């Protein structure tokens, strides 16, 4: 004997009718969510090198030294409030560092072959670049007085930034560090740079540390003069050689600024979709405190800056003078000339 | 069953969508990054045909352009990168073979690519890399019996490396006569071109006291060791001189110590420079070369954002008519520091 059937309740019937559209809606939402998820997965896979770099190389923290620790050179100069964190509209100061990350030194204790202090104003689209000579003899933030290129060797990025801040009495908002191999790969990645080589750059004692097995070995280089398209290695030879230049490090600074501006010209042609290739190329050869998004914001700004709006400063004599201190040749800064010049373009901290 | 099929189909569509997004992003990469791979060897025909034969260098290979058709000269790559051709008096070519540490000048059959003779021997056997030497920019002397060129020897055991203008007989020691004494630690005197009336014109690099930059002036000397006479000002920063076959005009590239260039022509009357005329401004022009009849000019410059140098042609350089330059090649990556050579046949 079967149990009597439950009577069909009108309220239950109504509930079923009402739940059908809800199910359909849920199904449609589920399918749409699947599309979003698969799209994100496709995009995520594409951007995976950039995402990895974003965690590994970007967004590093700068540990600024307190202003009271300023050097004797900067004391007596009234200090202004620190500049605000760079946004897409406010001017900011960035310290560009280039290192010979060859096998001669531990990877975290290399010299900075290039230090360029740059002021970028996104509104007026003006850029000022001051090349700081690597042999400049200054008080280091890590203590003592030595060539400024040793600050990074003694205390990494923070020491390099703090040394520049304390000696030049400026606030550094951001930094970007690149190794030699990173520069080579970056230039190759953007398809080379177009440069007018200002003179024949000849060197019989150019370090063979990127291409050979012995980092103390030498090779000959000859970069011929005139307009040309340079690949990464050739551009590095052009900006790195200094043995046969009457102006020594100053000549090299001028050439470094030329290649930097040539890279800027290529930057305006790049888009977000190029980030994975660039991140791949510069893996472990580049660090910055800027986030990947901020770098993405800066690309069009770099592209909008015309060459006529770029002020290039090299601290030639009388801003500096050569001297032998101990057993090494150094450049002695003339702070009474350098600080007014620098503060003409860079706000004091 | 129908539900299972629906789910499988949905998974396939989702996967295809994700893959499509990935490929779409890949397609949005800029041309500049993709341009790295787009450098074809010059095998295709040029845009139009110029009379005579032209030789150009790309990626260490020497190519012959005749009747609008490029041919690889197939010079041995083990010898070095083949650059800076110039046409010798007998129609053969003087070409530089550049290795990592030294470069040498060779005499080459311009039609077949056969190596006729090695004219310099700059490789050292000492094991000291700095004792190697460079030779660049060879040109036949006016009498056709010798070569005028750049050489950075003999070595003096310092950091200094500078190129000076030398000449010597094709049948003897090429480093016989030193013509110029370059300014120290500047790179030196480069791109020598013999003048039809005797003497040589070249680009001389020196420190400019006013700007504290190393800039170039076009200079000329009548005899070896003579004091140079400057044909352009330091402020113009001109280099890469090319002398017309009759010696009456000088084509130069001037940059005024900037990162842009202009192609100029300077009339020469008895070696005295006249008023310079700008033929092409705001370009990345390099390495001009006159046509054998002295009417038109070839030069190298990029044609697009890739920055790869192409051949451009100015049909006439007469002052009375302004002629727009014509692009002769596309998609090449010619060596901008290697001027084309141009023979009448």
- DSSP for B73-113 reads ----GGG-EEEEEEE-TTS-EEEEEE-SS-EEEEEE-TTT-
CB-CB under 8 Å, A225 with B205: yes
Please report the DSSP string for A174-229 in residue order. EEEEEEHHHHHHHHHHTT-EEEEE-S-EEEEEEE-TTTSS-TT-EEEEEE-SEEEE
Q: How far is B233 from chain A (nearest CA, A)?
A: 15
Write the burial class of residue B12 (CB in 10 Å: 0-12 exposed, 13-18 middle, 19+ buried).
exposed
Nearest 10 degrees: Cα torsion B62, B65, B71, B72 = 0
Does residue A190 belong to the interface with chain B, where contact is any CB pair within 8 Å? yes
Contact residues on chain A for B258, CB-CB shorter than 8 A = 196, 307
Per the listing, tokens 């040749």 go with A329
Does A316 contact chain B (CB < 8 Å)?
yes
**Interface predicted TM-score of the whole assembly (ipTM), two decimals:** 0.92
Total Cβ atoms within 10 A of residue A118: 22
pLDDT at A103: 63
- The answer to whether residues B93 and B83 touch, using CB atoms and an 8 Å cutoff, is no
Tallying the residues shown for chain A, one arrives at 349
CA B107/CA A155 separation, integer angstroms: 57
User: Measured between CB atoms, which of B185, B215, B337 is closest to A224?
Assistant: B337
CA of B100, closest CA in chain A: separation in Å? Answer: 7
Q: Any idea what the Cα angle at residue B141 is, between residues B137 and B143, rounded to 5°?
A: 165
Can you tell me the distance from the alpha carbon of A21 to that of B311, in angstroms, rounded to the nearest whole number?
A: 69
Nearest chain A Cα to B25, which residue? A273
Round to whole Å and give the CA distance between B294 and A158.
62
Report, as ranges of residue numbers, the positions in chain A whose pLDDT lies below 50.
1-2, 70-86
Q: Report the number of distinct structural domains present in chain A.
A: 1
- Residue B299 and residue B263: Cα distance in Å, rounded? 9
Shortest Cα distance from B214 to chain A (angstroms)? 7
Give the end-to-end CA distance of chain B in Å, rounded to a whole number.
79
Residue among A224, A234, A274, A310 with most chain B CBs within 10 A, to mutate: A224
> Measured between alpha carbons, how far apart are the two ends of chain A, in Å?
95
Which residues in chain B have their CB less than 8 angstroms from residue A273's CB?
Answer: 25-26, 28-30
B159/A277 CB distance under 8 A:
no
The reply to whether B163 falls in a domain is yes
At how many degrees (to 10) do helices A249-267 and A232-240 cross? 150
- Chain pair A-B, CB pairs under 8 angstroms: 191
Whether residue B336 and residue A273 make contact (CB cut-off 8 A), yes or no, is no
A24 domain-assigned = no
Looking at residue A71, what is its pLDDT?
Answer: 46
The answer to whether residue A121 neighbours chain B at the CB level (below 8 Å) is no
CA nearest A318 in B: which residue? B212
Contact criterion met (CB < 8 Å) for B21 and A35: no
List the Cα angle A302/A242/B208 in 5-degree steps: 80
What average pLDDT score do residues B152-170 get?
A: 89
Residue B218, domain member (yes or no): no
Distance between B261 CA and the closest CA of chain A, angstroms: 8
Provide the shortest C-alpha distance from residue B278 to chain A (in Å). Answer: 17
Nearest residue in chain A measured CA to CA from B83 = A224
pLDDT for the residue numbered A83:
40
Q: Is the pLDDT of residue B160 over 50?
A: yes
Closest C-alpha to A264, from A225, A307, A317? A307
At residue B1, the 3 state secondary structure works out as coil
Tell me how far apart the alpha carbons of residues A157 and A172 are, in angstroms, rounded to a whole number: 12
Three-state DSSP class for residue B65: strand
Structural domain includes residue A300: yes
Among chain B residues, the shortest Cα distance to A34 is held by: B14
Contact (Cβ atoms closer than 8 angstroms) between residue B98 and residue B81:
yes
Residue with more model confidence, A327 or B338: B338
Give the number of residues written for chain B: 345
The dihedrals phi and psi of A132, each to the nearest 5 degrees, come to -95, 120
Helices (H), chain B: 2-27, 31-34
Q: Are A287 and A97 in contact (CB under 8 A)?
A: no
Per-residue pLDDT, B26:
86
Distance from the A68 Cα atom to the nearest Cα atom in chain B, whole angstroms? 38
Show residues of chain B in contact with A37, CB under 8 Å: 14
B46 within 8 A of B286, measured Cβ to Cβ: no
- pLDDT higher at A52 or B243: B243
The residues, any chain, with a CB within 8 Å of residue B4's CB and separated by 6 or more, are none
Environment class of residue B243 by beta-carbon count within 10 Å: exposed (0-12), middle (13-18) or buried (19+)?
buried
| Separation of alpha carbons B273 and B251, rounded Å | 12
Alpha-carbon distance A70 to nearest alpha carbon in chain B (angstroms): 32
Which residue of A lies nearest to B252 if distances are taken between CA atoms? A226
pLDDT of residue A9: 65
- B103 vs A61: which has the higher pLDDT: B103
Tell me, yes or no, whether A299 lies in a domain: yes
Q: Assess whether pLDDT exceeds 90 at residue B330.
A: no
So what's the pLDDT on residue B180? 97
Rounded to the nearest 10°, the torsion over CA B325, B242, B118, B100 is -70
Q: Is the dihedral of CA B131, B132, B134, B135 positive or negative?
A: positive
DSSP-derived secondary structure for B257-295 = TSS-EEEEEEEEETTEE---EEEEEEE--EEEEE-TTSS
Give the gap in angstroms from C-alpha B270 to the nearest C-alpha of chain A: 28
* Cα separation, A314 vs A304, whole angstroms: 24
Q: Where are the alpha helices (DSSP H) in B146-193?
A: none
Decide if A292 is inside a domain: yes
Number of domains in chain B: 1
Contacts of A203 in chain B (CB under 8 A): 161
- Partner-chain contact A189 B286, CB within 8 Å: no
CB-CB: which of B35, B186, B287 is closest to A199? B186
Report the residue of B18, B138, B191, B310 to disrupt the A interface, i.e. the one with the largest count of A CBs within 10 Å. B18
Would you call B134 and A307 a contact, using CB atoms and an 8 Å cutoff? no
Nearest to A298 by CA among A44, A97, A68, A120: A120
At A101 the three-state DSSP class reads: coil
Residue A287 token pair: 């660090």
Give domain status of residue A5, yes or no.
no
Nearest to B28 by CA among A116, A297, A271: A271
How does pLDDT run across A290-312, given as a tens digit for each residue? 887 787 777 777 777 777 888 88
Beta carbons of A202 and B162 less than 8 Å apart: yes
The structure's pTM equals 0.86
Q: Taking the mean position of all CA atoms in its chain, how far away is CA B108?
A: 18
CA-based nearest distance B133→chain A, Å: 9
A292: three-class secondary structure by DSSP = helix
Assign residue B149 a region: left if phi > 0, alpha if psi is -120 to 50, beta otherwise?
A: beta
Domain of A78, in residue numbers: 57-345
Question: Cα angle at B176 between B270 and B173, to 5 degrees?
Answer: 125
User: Which residue of chain B comes nearest to A266, CA vs CA?
Assistant: B32
Please report the pLDDT score of residue A19 as a whole number.
74
Nearest to B259 among A200, A201, A307 (CB): A307
Q: Which of B306, B309, B335 sits opposite A191 (nearest CB)?
A: B306
Residue A236 belongs to domain with CATH number:
3.40.630.190
Range(s) of the domain holding residue B173: 75-178
Please give the C-alpha separations between residue A75 and each of A299, A331, A342, in angstroms, as whole numbers.
37, 21, 15
pLDDT in tens, B44-96: 677 788 999 999 999 999 999 998 889 999 999 999 999 999 998 788 999 99
CA gap B322, B315 in Å, rounded: 10
Strand, helix or coil for residue B148? strand
Asked, for residue A45, whether it belongs to a domain, the answer is no
By the 10 Å C-beta count (0-12 exposed, 13-18 middle, 19+ buried), B39 is classed as middle
The residue ranking higher by pLDDT, A152 or B37, is A152
Burial of B47 (0-12, 13-18, 19+ CB in 10 A): middle
| B101: nearest CB among A220, A227, A272 | A220
Distance from B167 to chain A by nearest Cα, in Å? Answer: 20
Q: Which secondary structure element, helix H or strand E, spans residue B342, and what is its range?
A: strand B341-343
Q: Between chains, do A202 and B163 touch, taking CB under 8 Å as contact?
A: yes
Instruction: Confirm or reject contact between A34 and chain B (CB < 8 A).
Output: yes
CA distance B171 to B187: 29
Stretch 193-212 of chain A: residues touching chain B, C-beta under 8 Å: 193-196, 198-205
CB contact under 8 A, A35 and B255: no
* A93, part of any domain: yes
What local confidence, expressed as pLDDT, does residue B35 receive? 58
Torsion angle defined by CA atoms of residues B43, B46, B49 and B52, in that order, rounded to the nearest 10 degrees: -50
CB contact under 8 A, A194 and B17: no
User: Which among B152, B154, B135 has a CA at the least distance from the CA of B86?
Assistant: B135
What is the reported pLDDT for B282? 93
How many angstroms separate the CA atoms of B88 and B86, rounded? 6
Interface-testing mutation among A229, A239, A260, with chain B (most B C-beta atoms within 10 A): A229
């Amino acid at each position: 004997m079967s149990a009597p059937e439950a009577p069909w309740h009108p309220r239950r019937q109504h509930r079923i009718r009402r739940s059908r559209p809800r199910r359909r809606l849920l199904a449609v939402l589920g399918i749409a969510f699947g599309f979003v998820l698969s799209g994100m997965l496709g995009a995520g896979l594409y951007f995976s090198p950039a995402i990895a770099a974003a965690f590994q190389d970007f967004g590093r923290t700068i540990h600024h030294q307190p202003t009271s620790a300023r050097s004797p050179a900067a004391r007596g100069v009234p200090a202004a409030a620190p500049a605000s964190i760079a946004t897409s509209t406010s001017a900011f100061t960035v310290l560009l560092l280039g290192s010979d990350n060859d096998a001669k030194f531990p990877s975290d204790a290399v010299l900075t072959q290039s230090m360029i202090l740059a002021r970028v104003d996104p509104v007026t689209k003006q850029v000022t670049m001051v090349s700081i000579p690597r042999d400049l003899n200054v008080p280091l933030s890590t203590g003592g007085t030595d060539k400024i290129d040793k600050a990074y060797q003694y205390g990494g990025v923070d020491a390099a930034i703090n040394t520049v801040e304390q000696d030049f009495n400026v606030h550094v908002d951001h930094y970007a560090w690149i190794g030699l191999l990173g520069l080579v790969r970056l230039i190759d990645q953007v398809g080379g740079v177009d440069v007018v080589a200002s003179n024949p750059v000849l060197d019989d004692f150019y370090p063979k540390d990127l291409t050979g097995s012995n980092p103390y070995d030498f090779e000959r280089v000859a970069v011929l003069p005139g307009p040309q398209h340079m690949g990464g290695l050739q551009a590095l030879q052009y900006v790195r050689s200094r043995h046969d230049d009457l102006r020594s490090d100053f000549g090299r600074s001028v050439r470094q600024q030329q290649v930097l501006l040539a890279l800027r010209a290529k930057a305006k042609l790049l888009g977000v979709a190029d980030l994975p290739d660039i991140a791949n190329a510069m893996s472990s050869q580049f660090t910055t405190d800027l986030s990947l998004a901020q770098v993405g914001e800066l690309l069009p700004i770099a592209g909008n800056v015309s060459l006529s709006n770029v002020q290039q400063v090299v601290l030639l004599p009388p801003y500096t003078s050569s001297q032998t201190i101990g057993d090494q040749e150094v450049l002695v800064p003339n702070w009474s000339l350098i600080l007014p010049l620098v503060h003409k373009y860079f706000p004091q901290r | 069953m129908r539900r299972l099929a629906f789910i499988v189909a949905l998974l396939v569509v989702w996967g295809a969508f994700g893959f499509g997004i990935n490929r779409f992003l890949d397609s949005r990469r800029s041309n500049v990054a993709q341009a790295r791979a787009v450098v074809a060897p010059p095998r295709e025909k040029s845009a139009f045909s110029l009379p005579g034969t032209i030789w150009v260098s790309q990626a260490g290979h020497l190519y012959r352009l005749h009747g609008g058709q490029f041919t690889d000269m197939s010079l041995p790559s083990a010898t070095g990168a083949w650059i800076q051709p110039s046409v010798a008096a007998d129609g053969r070519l003087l070409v530089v073979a550049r290795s990592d540490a030294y470069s040498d000048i060779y005499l080459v059959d311009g039609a077949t690519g056969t190596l006729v003779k090695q004219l310099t021997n700059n490789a050292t056997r000492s094991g000291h890399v700095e004792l190697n030497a460079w030779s660049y920019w060879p040109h036949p002397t006016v009498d056709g019996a010798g070569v005028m060129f750049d050489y950075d020897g003999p070595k003096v055991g310092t950091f200094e490396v500078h190129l000076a203008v030398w000449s010597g007989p094709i049948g003897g020691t090429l480093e016989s006569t030193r013509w110029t004494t370059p300014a120290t630690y500047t790179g030196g005197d480069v791109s020598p071109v013999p003048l039809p009336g005797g003497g040589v014109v070249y680009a001389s690099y020196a420190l400019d006291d006013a700007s504290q930059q190393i800039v170039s002036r076009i200079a000329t000397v009548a005899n070896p060791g003579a004091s140079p006479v400057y044909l352009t000002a330091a402020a113009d920063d001109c280099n890469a001189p090319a002398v017309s076959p009759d010696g009456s005009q000088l084509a130069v590239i001037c940059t005024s110590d900037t990162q842009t260039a202009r192609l100029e022509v300077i009339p020469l009357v008895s070696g005295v420079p006249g008023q310079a005329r700008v033929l092409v401004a705001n370009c990345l022009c390099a390495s001009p070369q006159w046509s054998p009849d002295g009417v038109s000019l070839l030069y190298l410059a990029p044609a697009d954002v890739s920055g790869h140098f192409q051949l451009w042609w100015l049909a006439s350089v007469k002052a009375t008519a302004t002629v727009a330059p014509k692009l002769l090649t596309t998609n090449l990556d010619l060596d901008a520091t290697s001027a084309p050579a141009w023979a009448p046949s």
